[in-house]
Every structure is written in structure tokens, then in C-alpha cells.
Amino acid sequence: MNHHIVSPEVHEHHTQEQESMKMLGFWIFLVTDVILFGTLFATYVVLVHNTAGGPDGKELFELPGIVAETFILLTSSFTSGIAVLQMQAKKVNGMIFWLIITALLGLSFIYLEISEFVKMVHEGATISTSAFLSAFFTLVGTHGVHVSVGIGWVIALMIQLKKYGITTVTKRKITNFSLYWHFLDVVWIFLFTVVYLIGVM
Amino acid sequence: MLDKIKDFAADFFVTGDPLIYGADVSIVLVTIAIVFVLTYFKKWGWLWREWLTTVDHKRIGIMYLIASLLMLFRGGVDALLMRTQLALPDIPFLKAEHYNEIFTTHGTIMILFMAMPMMFALFNMVVPLQIGARDVAYPFLNALSFWLFFLGAMLLNLSFVIGGSPNAGWLSYPPLSELSGSPGVGQNFYIWGIQISGIGSLATGINFLVTILKMRAPGMKLMKMPLFTWSVFSTCVTIIFAFPILTITLALLFIDRYFGAHFFTMDGGGMPMMYINLIWMWGHPEVYIVILPAFGIFSEIVATFSKKTIFGYKSMVFAMMIISILSFFTWVHHFFTMGSSADVNAFFAISTMAIAIPTGVKVFNWLFTMFRGRITIKQPMLWTLGFIPCFLIGGATGVMLAVAPADFQYHNSYFLIAHFHQVLIGGVVFGYLAGMYYWWPKLFGFKLDEKIGTWAFWLWNIGFYVCFLPQYWLGLDGMTRRVYTYSWDTGWASLNFISTIGAFLMGAGFILQVWQIVYSIRKGERDTTGDPWDGRTLEWSIPSPPAHYNFAVTPDGSHMDAWWHVKQQLKAGIKPPKQELEPIHMPKNSAVPIVMSTFWFIAGFGFTFGWNWMGISGLIGVIVCLFVRSFTYDVDYYIPVDEVKKTEAKMGRAI
């Protein structure tokens, strides 16, 4: 490292400046993600009645499983919040513990979602059955991909936390991750309402 | 076994056309030549260290510029092939299928792989310098954006010789672009090429928005920013709202083609019209994305070459922001004839026409800036002056097209072709060329030759009118777009012939510009002052080409036209306060952007051909790169004060 030519304080100042910029960039990235999901929602709403003789949401969706998924994801959002509180209390191990819980909840969410998809496919409701199902699988699947990416991301972050502890950089990374995770929760609430609740009505 | 390989090769490589054999030969020859030169002069290490892994925004800008000029050549050749085919009736030069491929790649390349990168070239070359910053907000991401664009563009270009080009038009309307309409791989090339480079464009939008918001020199309030920076700001906002829509639209089309989904198909409940709405929700803002920076460039140039502060600064800023908002409320004018109700058409007709108002404000402001200015006409100003009449005609025909009932006459005719080339060449290309001429000495340290440039300007400008004015009449005469041949009894022959002459004049203009660059590298006027045009903004306050840290000391941005202010102060005998040098914080180079983009390329190529093993390995490579970067903590270094002093002294500046 070629940092010896400036004092640690100066270097820390530069790092903090950059980290705050990265936070802003991440917020703007989330704006683009909002538009991404907005476009998928619009597509779904337009195509929801185009079932082309195939099954519709009323026949396919089983609320108990979906409600379980919802509770699991909401809880994981809560546990990721506890992890951030632990970070502010400077407790690395507590943080990692709550992040592991978050990742496990995320994994069980994904497991339930995939089993739901598999069940639908076995009932003959595939992505190529109708425009409605194309839109359904793509919209819900995109959210699922986001959650999976989040799980991979948080695993990488936990290793870094173990290695470097709570620094300006890891702090920013965890804050961004929890922002992302809460965002996915918000998207899920819209999914739950627009796709499942209205779907079974 | 041998038969199998033969079958595969016959399927894989595009064959049977002399043009394609020519392309094959030239690709091989150019590759051999590049490899030979780099090996002979032992330049591989230099290329890797100084360019391929660089995170310096100025170098990234230069690479964008080179790539976009190459793409201008490629897209231009497509244009000339089309015009040759249409020069006279019944010419058997191109087959219908080949003609379809060429107009598709011409449009795609010109908008996405020529205009966009040339715009990003100017962003990178100018914005940090203009706001007194040493870098962009995310230098690593910036390099990644470039390589994503570059490899995405290469993927699309590869389709010409491997597998076959897309042929469903530059926006790929379904059902033509569906598997039923385009069963080959061409459409997959289109989807992946644009998707990969589109991620880069979105990242650039975020990057420069944050750069402008967070990295301005002390004292530079938003309303003190140079107008080019303002134009980049409004463009970035538009990119951030428009590009995610493109990402989704292309992804849905790919899901249709690859997984047999029914978003846009004619059966299974799909809606082709849904695609057309989505693609234009991105596509219309996209044309404002490329024109807004041109407006910024003209504002800088007009002020500099009239020796006056820009007239109506605030109204200029306001106009640009209004345009970027209105751009999202016009998309339906692309399909007035496709069955919307009269109320819907009326809404979009009015919102489209409304854009003429802020645009008109800008044109008047430029004219008022020139009024009673001390105007000097150099290359940048020449192109600016060429732009104004061109854009006025283009704007007027745009308003004609915006009249929904009248559009039933113009729709999909050559009138439309003439209109959008008028605004895109007259506005975007002339604008970016003006910007290139204006900032060239800053980035390279020498001016481009005036005399050759003036010849090139006139060839472009005259060629432009000769090419596109006849097309207005052809359109009114009933010639529709996308026809590959016509017969004598249509009466379109003479106007088409004139139009083709114009296209070749523009081609000659481009060749002269290439010569201009080659000539100027050896004999161009050197810029020793760093301020060759007597400029007004901060980029002219440092030597040309700038040191890789840009500013040795952070400049003061608290005055409008900050550098002009300093020069006036100096003339009045007031020296700026002396500032102490400090070690400069800089980002380290990284190989991850080029490697990660290469994996994207591999993934795109794999999915294009339906080879899942290759596509998935590409994606795994991408993920590995993300992890590698996430675990890299040693990303920066400091330039010591002594080294800064040495560098500045070498450039003739005592600090």
C-alpha cells in the first residue's frame, strides 16, 4: 500500500467521502430497480387476463404457502435490521449471527417459491402456457433472482466482516445490503397484493 | 465426423456473399496486423497497463471516441450499401434479406454503438475537467461501462460474419422478431449485444449523475455549472428512467424466444403492441438522451466563440430539464396510426409539439449570444452554425409529423426518414463532431487541421441536404421505408439518385475527417497554452493534455465561467491566492472490467446460439469477477507532492 505518504486521518477522510458517494449511487441504482419492477408490473397487469384458455390465478394460487413466504421475508427484513443495529453497537459477531439468520430465511423463502413454481409446472401451468403465466413467472421470478443475488452478496460480506471487522468500507457495504433487502421486501408486498391477493379474489 | 464439422461450419459462418467474404478477409487481416504491430514493437504490456486496465476517465473517453468513430464507419458503410441499392429502380445489388439485415444493423449501430459512445466519450473527456474534479465518482464502474459497451458492440458486429445479422428493424418489432418471424440467431445477437452494452449505459448514467452532484469544485453551485455539464445532468436523469425499460423489454423478448413465453407473440394471449409501447417508452427518451448533450456542446461553443456569456443561462437549464421530462410523454406518436383513440392521439400530439417550445428557446438563446458578439469561425463554431438551419428544418418537419391526422399520410414513409436523419445528423452528429473538434486539443494537445476540416464540413453539409431533402418529396410521393427496390413506373428514380449522390458526399466528408486526424497527428497546430480557444470554463485552466490527476490544486468554482473570471482578474492585476500542494488521492487500475465484460460476451454468445454450457459458464465467470472485486480492498494510492511538482514543471507550470 502506498498510503504512508498521508496521515491515516487524511486517508480516512478520503475513504469516507468515497463511501458516502457510493451510498448515493446505490440509492440511484435502487431507483432504476424500481423502474425495472414497475415495467414488469405494468406488463403483468396488462396481460393478467390473457390466459389463452389456460388456468388463471384463482385456480393456481394457494394462499397459505404465499402467506408463509411473506412472513419469512418480512422477518428476514427485520433480522437484517437487527444486524445493522449490532453494527452500530460495534458487535461483529452479533452482526454475523443476524446476517446468517437473514440469509437462512432468504433461502427458505427461495425454497418455498421454487416448490410453488415446480408444483405449478407439474399441474401444466408453465411459462409457455399463456401470456398471463409468462408474465407471472417473469415478475415473481425476477424478484426471486434478486433475493438469490442478495443471499450470495451477504455471504461474501460476512466473509469480509470476519476478515476486516467493522470499517468504513464494510459499514457502507452492509448498509447498502440492508437497503437492498428492505427494498425487496417492499417489492414483495406489491407482488403479494397485485399478483396473489387480487389474483385469488 | 468430418461431415458433421462441415455441416456445423456451413451453419455457423455466413457464406455465399462476396461482401461477407470481404468482411472475413478484412477482419483476419486487421487482426493479424494488430497482433504483428503490437508484438513487433513490444507494446502488449503497454497496451494492457496504460489502456486496457485503465480507470482514467480521459483515456476511457478516448477509447469511447475511437470505438464510436469505427462504428460510424461501419454504420456508414451500411448506409452507402442501402443508398447504392436504391439509387435506381430494379438494381440487383442486394437481396431483400440482405437489405433487411443492413437497415437493421445501420439503425442499431448508429444509435446505440455510435451516438451513445460518442456521447459517453464527451462525458468522460469533459465533465470532470469542467467541474474541477480529479475523477468521476466511480472510476472502476466507468471502466466497466466502457468494456460492456465495447464487447456488446463487438457481439452485434460479429453477427455479420457468424450466424447472420438481425433483420427485424432497429427496434425489432414482434412478431417479426419472434422465433416465428426470425428463426435464426440474428435476433439473439441483437438482444444480447444491446443488453450487455445497455447495462454499461445505465451505469454511466448513475456514475455521471453522482459525479456532477458530489464532485464539483468548491463554490460551484448547481446554477454556476457550465451548460455542457447541465446537459449531461439532464441526460443522465433521462438515462436512469429510460434504460431499465429497455432492459426489461429485451429480456421479455428473449424469454419469448428462448423459453417459449407469450409476451408479444400472436398466439397464447401475447400482445405485440405491448412491445411497441415498451420499446418506445425507452426509445423516445433515447433520442432526447442523445440530443441534450449536443445542446450543451453548442452552448459552450457559441459562448466561447462569441466571447460572451451565454444568453439566458437559466432558461437554458430550465429548457433542458423540461425536455428531459416531456420526453417521457411522447412515445405514442410513434404509432398514431395503430388504433389508439382520438383522445390518446391528441394528448401525445400536443405533448410532442410542446417540446418545440423549450427547443426554440434554446435556439433563440444561441442566436442572441452571437448577436453583437465578437465571433470567430473555427471548426467547432462552423459545425454549430451548420447545425442551426438543419435543426430548424428538422424541428419544423417534426411538428408536421406530430399532427396526428397528418401523420396518417407521413407514417412509415420517406418523409419520416428524412425528418429523423435531419435531427439526428444535423443535431447529434454535427453536435458531437463540434464537441470533438472543440475538446480535441484539450485531450490530445494539438488542434485538428482547419483547412481539411472545412472541406469535410462542406462535404458533410452539402451532402446532407442533397441526401435528405429529396427524401421528403419521395415520402410525400408515396415511397415507404424499408423497400429494397422499386420499379420505373413509380417515378421515384431521379430523386433517389440525387439522394444517393448526397450519401456518398457525406461518405467523402468522413474520409476527409479521417485524413484530417492522421494529418493533424503529424502536422497539427500544437496547443502549448492549454487554452487554445480562449475558453471560459475550468477545463481550459490546465495544460493540454492534462496530467492524469487533472488539477494539481483544487480550482475555485464560485464564479460563472470560472476560468474566464480568473483571466479577467489576472488582467486587472489580481492574482489568485496561492494554494499548497497536497498528495493526490487516485484510484488504481484494474483488470476486472475487461475480464468481466469478456465473460459477459461469452455468456451472450453462448445464449445467442443456444449453447447453455457456454452461456452459463460465462455467467459464472461474471459472478467470480464480482466476488474478486468485492474482496479487493486495496483500490487506491496517493501521488506524492514531489511527483506532482515534477509533472507540473514538465508541462511548463511552476507551482
In a domain, B654, yes or no: no
Among B564, B579, B594, residue at a domain's last position: B579
Signed CA dihedral, B149, B154, B157, B163: sign only:
negative
Q: In Å, how far is B626's CA from the nearest CA of chain A?
A: 10
B227 and B319: one domain?
yes
Distance CA B160, CA B646 (A): 50
In a domain, A30, yes or no: yes
pLDDT of residue A27 exceeding 50, the answer is: yes
Is A169 near chain B, with CB under 8 Å?
yes
In a domain, B553, yes or no: yes
Q: Are A29 and A179 in contact (CB under 8 A)?
A: no
In a domain, B199, yes or no: yes
Interchain pair A35, B241: CB under 8 A:
yes
B26 and B110: one domain?
no
B35 and B59: one domain?
no
In a domain, A160, yes or no: yes
Residue B528's pLDDT is 87
Distance CA B96, CA B189 (A): 20
Report, as an integer, the average pLDDT of A24-45: 97
**What residue numbers bound the domain in which B107 lies?**
42-579
B399 and B468: one domain?
yes
CATH of the domain at A81: 1.20.120.80
B464 and B566: one domain?
yes
**Interface list for B 235-264 with A (CB within 8 A):** 240-241, 243-245, 247-249, 251-252, 255-256, 259-263
As a whole-number percent, the residues of chain A with pLDDT over 70 amount to 98
B3 and B61: one domain?
no
The alpha carbons of chain B give a radius of gyration, in whole angstroms, of 25
In a domain, B160, yes or no: yes
In a domain, B314, yes or no: yes
Tell me how many domains chain B contains: 2
Set of chain A residues whose Cβ sits within 8 Å of the Cβ of B278? 39, 43
- Reported as a single tens digit per residue, the pLDDT across B358-408 is 999 999 999 999 999 999 999 999 999 999 999 999 999 999 999 999 999
CATH of the domain at B183: 1.20.210.10
Tell me the three-class secondary structure of A156-189, residue by residue.
HHHHHHHHHCCCHHHHHHHHHHHHHHHHHHHHHH
Name residue B526's beta-bridge partners. B446
Residue B25's pLDDT is 86
**Nearest residue on chain B to A149, alpha-carbon basis:** B623
Residue A1's pLDDT is 45
Report, as an integer, the average pLDDT of A99-121: 96
B2 and B114: one domain?
no
Q: Which of B274, B104, B210 is nearest to A39 (CA)?
A: B274
Residue B654's pLDDT is 67
In a domain, A1, yes or no: no
Residues of chain B with pLDDT under 50: none
Most A-contacting residue of B328, B638, B643 (CB-CB within 10 A), to test interface: B638
**Cell numbers found for residue B306:** 462569441
Distance CA B45, CA B51 (A): 10
Set of chain B residues whose Cβ sits within 8 Å of the Cβ of A2? 637-638
Distance CA A143, CA B357 (A): 41
B134 and B22: one domain?
no
Distance CA B503, CA B524 (A): 28
Interchain pair B269, A132: CB under 8 A:
yes
**Nearest residue on chain B to A157, alpha-carbon basis:** B630
B124 and B161: one domain?
yes
Residue B580's pLDDT is 85
Q: Are A147 and A87 in contact (CB under 8 A)?
A: no
Q: Which of B237, B221, B93, B98 is nearest to B159 (CA)?
A: B98
Residue B24's pLDDT is 84
Interchain pair A128, B633: CB under 8 A:
no
**What residue numbers bound the domain in which A165 lies?**
8-200
**Interface list for A 38-57 with B (CB within 8 A):** 39-40, 43, 46-47, 50-52
B277 and B385: one domain?
yes
The residue type of B414 is Y
Q: What is the ipTM of this complex?
A: 0.95
pLDDT of residue A28 exceeding 90, the answer is: yes
Distance CA B336, CA B136 (A): 42
Cell 439473439: give the residue: B188
Tell me how many domains chain A contains: 1
Set of chain A residues whose Cβ sits within 8 Å of the Cβ of B637? 1-3
B424 and B540: one domain?
yes
Q: Are B467 and B506 in contact (CB under 8 A)?
A: yes
